[in-house]
């Protein structure tokens, strides 16, 4: 399949809106930005993937290293292969709508929340960025797939993760919406992902947002020794 052309460069962005929603009392503002991930984010991405493995009770499958992520995730332009959106948080400083390393490819999405209580982040030091001192709170990893029935490409979400102290504040929905918005912009046909069957809260959340949970489909996977054994057989030996 021919690669889709990258989206056109965005129009110049206005200055960030630092005002809190009108009519709400001043509480604890929390500024959020979703931007494209880059190789410089790999240390934080690696930590996030490990935290996700712990949450999903799948640490026995976790073998990724910073080196393996760095050498495989960013070898093609965003939206044509693997793409990562990073969720950044700042409790004190509004974000600029510009992110110089990636602005020509994707205009960051900004949002301001007004919370009744401040967020206590016990791991903020481990997830603080060197660029502007913001804190990485989550990410979504996705890539292109294709629907032969629709005759259109789409996006498959491999990972969607928000760190525990930032959950139940709408950030997961924001990350999903960012992927869906990009799919619509490119004229793609669908966005899909998998969910663990015990994660009832996530399933309910996806259904509420309008996603169809396909009970009749089963995920099939060849990996590890099984992949090596099957892949080492020549066609004539099958």
pLDDT at 14: 42
Give a yes or no: residue 190 inside a domain: yes
| pLDDT tens-digit readout, 188-209 | 999 999 999 999 999 999 999 9
Nearest to 44 by CA among 112, 137, 115, 107: 137
Phi, psi (deg, nearest 5) at residue 140: -135, 130
Give a yes or no: residue 179 inside a domain: yes
Give a yes or no: residue 9 inside a domain: no
For residue 78, how far is the Cα from the chain centroid?
13
Give a yes or no: residue 51 inside a domain: yes
Range of the domain at 199: 28-237
Q: In terms of DSSP bridges, do strands 28-36 and 83-90 run parallel, antiparallel, or are they unpaired?
A: antiparallel
| pLDDT tens-digit readout, 44-90 | 999 999 999 999 999 999 999 999 999 999 999 999 999 999 999 99
Number of CB atoms found within 10 A of residue 46's CB: 18
Q: Which residues contact 10 (CB under 8 A, 6 or more apart)?
A: 103, 104, 106, 107
- CATH number at 142 reads 3.40.630.30
pLDDT at 233: 79
Give a yes or no: residue 15 inside a domain: no
Looking at the chain, which runs of residues are DSSP E strands? 28-36, 83-90, 109-115, 135-147, 152-162, 191-193
pLDDT at 234: 67
Contact 72, 82 (CB under 8 A): yes
Alpha carbons 8 and 169: distance in angstroms, whole number: 32
Q: Would you place residue 237 in the very low, low, confident or very high pLDDT band (cuts 50, 70, 90)?
A: confident
The b/e string for 107-121 (b: 16+ C-beta within 10 A; e otherwise) is: bbbbebbeeeeebeb
Alpha carbons 28 and 174: distance in angstroms, whole number: 19
The total domain count for the chain is 1
Alpha carbons 171 and 178: distance in angstroms, whole number: 11
DSSP state of 169: S
Highest-confidence segment of 6-10, 60-64, 92-96: 60-64
| pLDDT tens-digit readout, 115-146 | 999 999 999 999 999 888 899 999 999 999 99
Contact 156, 192 (CB under 8 A): yes
**Active-site hit among 55, 139, 206, 230:** 206
The overall average pLDDT reported for the chain is 88
pLDDT at 27: 81
Give a yes or no: residue 23 inside a domain: no
Residue with tokens 């966005």: 191
Give a yes or no: residue 13 inside a domain: no
Residue 114: pLDDT over 60 = yes
Give a yes or no: residue 147 inside a domain: yes
Residue 102: pLDDT over 50 = yes
Query: Is there a catalytic annotation at residue 230?
Result: no
């Amino acid at each position: 399949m021919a690669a889709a052309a990258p989206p056109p460069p965005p129009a110049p962005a206005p200055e960030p809106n630092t005002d809190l929603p009108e009519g709400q009392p001043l509480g604890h503002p929390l500024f959020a930005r979703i931007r494209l991930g880059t190789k410089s984010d790999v240390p934080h991405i690696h930590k996030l993937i490990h935290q996700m493995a712990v949450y999903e009770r799948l640490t026995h499958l976790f073998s990724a290293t910073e080196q393996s992520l760095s050498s495989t995730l960013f070898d093609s332009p965003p939206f044509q292969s693997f793409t990562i959106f990073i969720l950044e948080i700042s409790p004190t400083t509004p974000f600029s709508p510009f992110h110089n390393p990636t602005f020509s490819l994707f205009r960051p999405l900004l949002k301001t929340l007004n919370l009744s209580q401040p967020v206590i982040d016990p791991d903020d030091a481990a997830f603080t960025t060197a660029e502007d001192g913001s804190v990485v709170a989550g990410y979504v990893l996705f890539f292109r797939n294709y629907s032969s029935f629709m005759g259109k490409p789409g996006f498959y979400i491999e990972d969607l993760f928000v760190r525990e102290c930032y959950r139940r504040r709408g950030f997961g929905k924001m990350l999903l919406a960012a992927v869906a918005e990009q799919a619509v912009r490119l004229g793609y046909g669908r966005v899909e992902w998998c969910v663990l069957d015990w994660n009832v809260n996530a399933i309910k959340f996806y259904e509420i947002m309008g996603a169809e949970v396909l009970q009749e489909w089963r995920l099939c996977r060849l990996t590890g020794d099984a992949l090596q054994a099957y892949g080492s057989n020549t066609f004539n030996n099958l």
